[in-house]
Structure 1
Amino acid sequence: MNADELTEILKKSGVLKTGKVVQVLNRSEQSNTARLSRLIVTYSKKAKGELPEALILKTYSGNDHGTSELELYTRIASAISEAPVPRCFLAEEVPGGGYRLLLEDFSETHKPLWEHRYTEKDAHRIAEAFARFHAAWWDSPLLSEVGNLPTKAVINHYAETVTPGIVPMCEAYGRETLSSLQLLDLAKTHFSQMKTRAKRGNLTVIHGDPNPGNLLSPRNETSGGRIFLIDRQPFDWNLTVWTGASDLTYTMIHWWEVEDRRELETILLDHYHAELLRHGVSPLYTRQDLQEDYRLSILQSLYVAVHWCIDPNEREKMAWLWNSQLTKTLVALRDWNLI
């Protein structure tokens, strides 16, 4: 992205009132799914406006995830007051598939939560981010425009996609656990329960992949107290409209250390529910309703590990990850008396 193009984008978005961009230094790196460029921006001497000194340009060239990430930073975020996502200055599809995003840069003030031991303050911040994100779309009549409603067909597709990984996962795990037959039966019952739950409302847009790398947390107390969500890139079989609780299970169950999850789970759920109500969700959605939704969603963490095991090459290559995810999920299932 050159200086003239960036000048036009920033003027259109309102952060560059007068003057222009005179230099753009591009520091690029390749992620698993996209090229990320940190743009260091220099402006003309008479430039006025917010004048961001650095921006993130994300270029995705595949077709696996559709336009969900574009929708996150535009349609979804626009409906959320003080949305917990980076500000977006450009969101466009590119010829041949893929898209470009020009985003606010938080790298100086925030960091992802990899290898992090969680505290009560973290639990509160995560609860606040998700409650704000979910509440704005709670039972919205526009949900079908930003995601797939969890119809019987959608849940069947979800089930049919992950089920083939159950038997090879159990065989490869090699430790005392449920037999594949028991797990297949458990999953069958669970998919039926999901279809029943989908009919009861209290659904919202979900992030779907809030792994530690997709949660940006303040580096210190001078960075502000908010967590930001990034990288919403679901596959075509993922649920995109579901219970808000499913984002919470995904965040905690198979990523956090078991001790952190046990200590902070209830604290996070309590605060999340209080924040939902503060942001306008009806009190008819009770704390017990949240508890039941969370309980239902725990088994979905199992399907994260299962999905890694469908393809033999992925199963072997990613064993370091799905083994850990499966072990933590099995502990949670026992903690909640689900197995």
Structure 2
Amino acid sequence: MLKLMSYAESATPAWLTEVLTREQKITEGQVASIKKKAVYKTPVTFITNLQITYSDDARGELPKTLIFKIKKRNQELQTGEKELLFYRHLSPMLHQTQKIRCYDAYMDVEKGISHLLLEDLSLTHSHPELPIHPPIKHCIEAVRILASFHAECWNRSELLQKVERMAGNRTQRLFLTKQYEQLEQQVHAFFAALGDRLLPERKAYLQEALSAGPYLFAPRWEKGPVTMVHGDAHFWNFLYPREEEEGIRPALIDWEYFDVGIGAMELAYTIGLWWFPTQRRYYEKSLLQVYHETLLEHGVNDYSFAQCEDDYRLGLTANLFMPAWHWSNGERAELWWHHLERCTAAYEDWNCREWLEREGIVSGT
């Protein structure tokens, strides 16, 4: 943490003047001073708000505040670098997707630290407190934003090839397709660690999904359609408008886990993994309809609602592996233990076992 905090001192008036001049925000004058206020701290991430004053002769579109996000690089988990790659190379190719503007993205390889200089939307947007989800009107708008992002990237081969190259080798797509043995090892280690704390019926669901996986996931990726996915698009990775004003919409943040994927599978992650069953059952079907309608509105063709539902079930099945994934990465138990209950409840509610039987992937009992 001290290393990250000390790195924040590299945000000097001279440096910021250079960046904002390059980005055509400052046309005359310079940054006079910067006041830093820490807004988020973890052992691997430090985010500070930069409150900026300018020289009297400064001219241009002068932002009063910016966000300086500092991340520690973890080569094993491949974090601290991907979001930088997103803003450098992929964000400029996404013209319709609601995201925040990045003014500078840099990796200090020697120190193992990256930084992003981002626009500050705190005056116009708010961020919900985990685990309380935002009002349903904001959830609907977030689903629309997610669907429009997926639609913009739908089967765009040049973009998706670039995404695949930059996504790294620790992604859900690879674990579900080309690295399935590693996934199996993770799940079995998870079984051993939990012992009798994992109820037999829950364990049976995971074993069932694990057996079905080789016949389920890779064929779907190969068949298409595919798109770019955010990779961690829960409702707390959106910023929401404080007021209903024309042109102000939710924005996706934290692009650390982007990849090539199946759009409705990501929605299953958004809803099926993170919402408790009662809330999910009340809103889920209508949100899935909003998602599919938005895809069609943004030009996606030959993708029926029935296909969308099947991909959603595919995502609910993949969600079963997320608790083991989080556990193996050393995430806190309060995260993955709740995920375990939520994802198995969604698997039950959507009759995923019966769906696998209809698809001929598992045999009936």
Pairs within 5 Å for 1:137-216: 137-142=153-158, 143-147=160-164, 155-170=176-191, 171-172=194-195, 174=197, 176-178=199-201, 180=203, 183-216=206-239
TM-score, scaled to structure 1 = 0.87
AA partner of residue 44 (structure 2): T
Q: 2:295: which partner in 1?
A: 276
Distance 2:234 2:212 in 1: 27
Q: Specify the code of the residue in structure 1 equivalent to 2:62.
A: L
SS in structure 1 of the partner of residue 280 of structure 2:
helix
Residue 16 of structure 1 corresponds to 26
Q: How many angstroms apart in 1 are the aligned matches of 2:195 and 2:233?
A: 26
2:123, 2:14 → 1: CA distance? 25
- Whether 1:300 aligns to 2:314 is no
For the 8 Å contact 2:21–2:27, the answer to whether it is kept is yes
Structure 2: where are the runs of 5+ without partners?
1-10, 354-365
> Once the two structures are superposed, what CA deviation does each residue of 1:95-116 show, in whole Å capped at 9, x if it has no partner?
3244221001122332333232
Percent of aligned pairs with the same residue?
Answer: 28
Equivalent of residue 37 in structure 1, options 48, 53, 57: 48
Q: Matches of 1:260 and 1:279 in 2, distance apart?
A: 28
Aligned mates of 2:152, 2:247 — CA distance in 1: 22
Give secondary structure in 2 for the equivalent of 1:221.
Answer: coil
1:49 matched to 2:60? The reply is yes
3-state SS, counterpart of residue 99 of structure 2:
coil
The 1:25/1:146 distance shift into structure 2, 3 A limit, reads: same
Deviation at 1:222, TM superposition (A): 5.3
Q: Which segment is superposed worse, 66-75 or 130-139?
A: 66-75
Distance in 1 (alpha carbons) for counterparts of 2:140 and 2:196: 34
Give 1:158 deviation, angstroms.
Answer: 4.4
TM alignment of 1:1-339, pairs within 5 A: 1-28=11-38, 29-62=40-73, 63=75, 64-65=78-79, 67-96=81-110, 97-113=112-128, 114-142=130-158, 143-147=160-164, 155-170=176-191, 171-172=194-195, 174=197, 176-178=199-201, 180=203, 183-221=206-244, 225-234=248-257, 240-281=259-300, 283-310=301-328, 314=330, 318-339=332-353
Could you list the runs of 5+ residues in structure 1 that have no partner in the other structure?
A: none
- In structure 2, relative to structure 1, the CA distance for the partners of 1:179 and 1:335 (3 Å cut) is closer
Determine the C-alpha separation between the residues in 2 that align with 1:152 and 1:310.
Answer: 17
Query: Contact conserved, 1:34 with 1:58, CA < 8 A, in 2?
Result: yes
- SS of the equivalent of 1:241 reads strand
Residues of 2 paired with 1:169 and 1:144: CA distance? Answer: 33
Q: Displacement, 1:88?
A: 0.6
RMSD: 2.7
Report the Cα distance in structure 1 between the residues aligned to 2:104 and 2:116, rounded to whole angstroms: 5
- Corresponding residue number in structure 1 for 2:7: none
> What CA distance in whole angstroms lies between the structure 2 residues aligned with 1:19 and 1:116?
44
Query: Aligned equivalents of 2:156 and 2:306: distance in 1?
Result: 22
326-335 vs 126-135, which moves further: 126-135
Say if 1:80 and 1:132, in contact at 8 Å, map to a contact too.
no
The verdict on how the C-alpha distance between 1:335 and 1:305 changes in structure 2, with shifts beyond 3 A counting, is same
Change beyond 3 A, Cα 1:260–1:118: farther
| Secondary structure at the counterpart of residue 39 of structure 1 | strand
Whole-angstrom CA distance in 1 between matches of 2:278 and 2:341: 13
| Structure 2: distance between partners of 1:183 and 1:83 | 35
Relative to structure 1, the CA distance from residue 119 to residue 39 in structure 2 (aligned partners, 3 Å threshold; closer, same or farther) is closer
Q: State the AA in 1 paired with 2:250.
A: I
> Larger RCO: Structure 1 or Structure 2 (Cα < 8 Å, ≥ 6 residues apart)?
1
Distance 1:91-1:242 versus aligned 2 partners, 3 A rule: same
Q: Which amino acid aligns with 1:19?
A: G
Change (3 A) 1:222 1:307: same
Alignment deviations for residues 312-332 of structure 1 (CA, whole Å, 9 cap, x no partner)? xx4xx7222211111011110
